[in-house]
Homo-oligomer: A and B are copies of this chain.
Amino acid sequence: MRIDHPARAAGRKVVVIVGAGFAGLNAAIRLRNEPGVHVILLDRRNHHLFQPLLYQVATAGLNPADIAVPIRAQFKDANNVDVHLGRVDGAMLGRREVSLRGGTDQIAYDYLVVATGAQHSYFGHDEWEPFAPGLKTVEQATEIRRRLLYAFEYAENEIDPEKQRDALTFVVVGGGPTGVELAGAIADISRTVMVADFRRIDSSKARVMLIEAAPRVLGTFPEGLSAHAEDDLRALGVEVMTNAPVSEIDATGVRVGDTWIRSRAVFWAAGVQASPFELEPAPPRDRAGRVKVNEDLSLPGFPNVFVAGDMALMPLVGVGKKGVSTGGAVPGVAPAAIQAGTFVAETILRDLKGRRRKPFAYHDKGTMATIGKSRAVAVIGRTQMTGFVAWCAWLFVHVYFLIGFKNRLGVMWTWVWSYVFSKRGARLITEREWQLDSEGWDGGT
């Protein structure tokens, strides 16, 4: 059934936004209460997720609900925004329709914003996923938390020192910001929170490895900061391996070059690819599956269709206010997606007013990554920061972005508290029954 929203008959433009991540949510926020448009925001989740702090959920520092906000809550006072929970199959651009429920329903649009984001890429080895979960969703974060906490419990119950050592070997694959933050946080809790909890094992002897195929971690940062981050990681007790491509992962460990690392807790932070959302006709995509878009983020040939955020290969038109064209692509970070979402909304509003479109100018507000507790590296414009100063900057930026999250004070409190006092309030293993059954108590007292 084709669904034509009554707003169209009333002369308003229907904007269908697929995905309520940073790009889609901010596009909808910019359009809320604008009289000329009606927005239909579709997502398969009921919540928008503050992904930059997802590693804190994975390491028991924050609750899932601390960094997830119901999408509806953002639009309760906006009569021109409909929020719908559901899976969208794809879009037929020629007919100006998105397709739902396996093609039985279609929603007509005047403008389409595709912002379905990215997911993990195992570089053609999808069979690795069960052994090395990624960190993109709440469910994945609680699964990593479960494996992490369970490893300590398992080791405590184990008599065989070799098996104990294997259980306490944590491997993070991928040395980008997520991998660095995850490895740092695991090393941090092993050396602080966990130490007092266990009787038979010395959790501070847990081995935390960060494995990166490229010659250095944080490849998008200046070389000096990469080196600084590696030093900081080593100071925390993380073994950093660079030039180390992974060639095999199974339930018992990881193969890196000629070395087999025995581990039951491998986490994947190595690659992303654009979501497989289907557009008909299919536009050109790059190797990472990102859709190539014009400078105004519209799809070539379809000025009423925009692709924004991690789903798009957004051309880097200018940096800062100088607008110097530098070539290359806008990085796949949260601030870029937020800016792109807002930009697309503003472009639609310009269209309605008959104004000329502008190219998307990405304002680089800086890049940063934390390393364990109270250390970070940051690049803000030409300024490079390290150590505690960088960490304070990082904290400030995250407080700033969390604004809009309802319970931000509570979250900040939980989080600062857990950082300062080395507590982890969310140390909760929620079980999957089958895993409990198959891996339950493992002897020894």
Contacts and interface: CB of A to CB of B under 8 A. Distances in A.
Stoichiometry (number of copies)? 2
B82 A445 contact: yes
Contact of A425 (B65, B72, B76, B425): B65
A119 to B, nearest CB: 13
A428 B47 contact: yes
Nearest to A156: B84
A157 B65 contact: no
A46 B105 contact: no
Interface in A111-161: 138-139, 142, 149-150, 153-154, 156-157
A440 B99 CA distance: 13
Nearest to A85: B153
Contact of A442 (B77, B101, B441): B101
A82 B153 CA distance: 12
B436 A44 contact: yes
Nearest to A74: B197
B82 A427 contact: no
Q: Which of A42, A72, A198, A413 lies at the interface centre, i.e. has the most chain B CB atoms within 10 A of its CB?
A: A72
A443 B105 contact: yes
B105 A429 contact: no
A403 B48 CA distance: 33
B86 A431 contact: no
B107 A47 contact: no
A82 to B, nearest CB: 6
B443 A423 contact: no
Interface string A40-74: 10101111000000000000000111101010110
Contacts of A156: 84-85
A219 B431 CA distance: 34
B101 A443 contact: yes
Nearest to A425: B407
A144 to B, nearest CB: 14
B87 A440 contact: yes
A72 B196 CA distance: 9
A213 to B, nearest CB: 29
Contacts of A40: 445
Interface in A420-445: 423, 425-431, 436-437, 440-445
A68 B410 CA distance: 18
Given A100-B443, A441-B88, A441-B100, A72 B414 contact: no
Contact of A413 (B104, B199, B410): B410
A1 interface: yes
Nearest to A86: B441
A45 B429 contact: yes
Contacts of A428: 46-47, 64-65, 68, 70, 138
A406 interface: yes
A131 B436 CA distance: 23
A389 interface: no
Contacts of A425: 65, 406-407, 410
A3 interface: yes
Nearest to A84: B157
12 contacts: A44-B436, A46-B153, A46-B427, A47-B427, A70-B427, A85-B150, A86-B442, A101-B443, A139-B430, A139-B431, A407-B425, A410-B425
The 6 A-B residue pairs whose C-beta atoms are closest, nearest first, are A86-B441, A76-B196, A85-B153, A72-B197, A65-B426, A63-B63
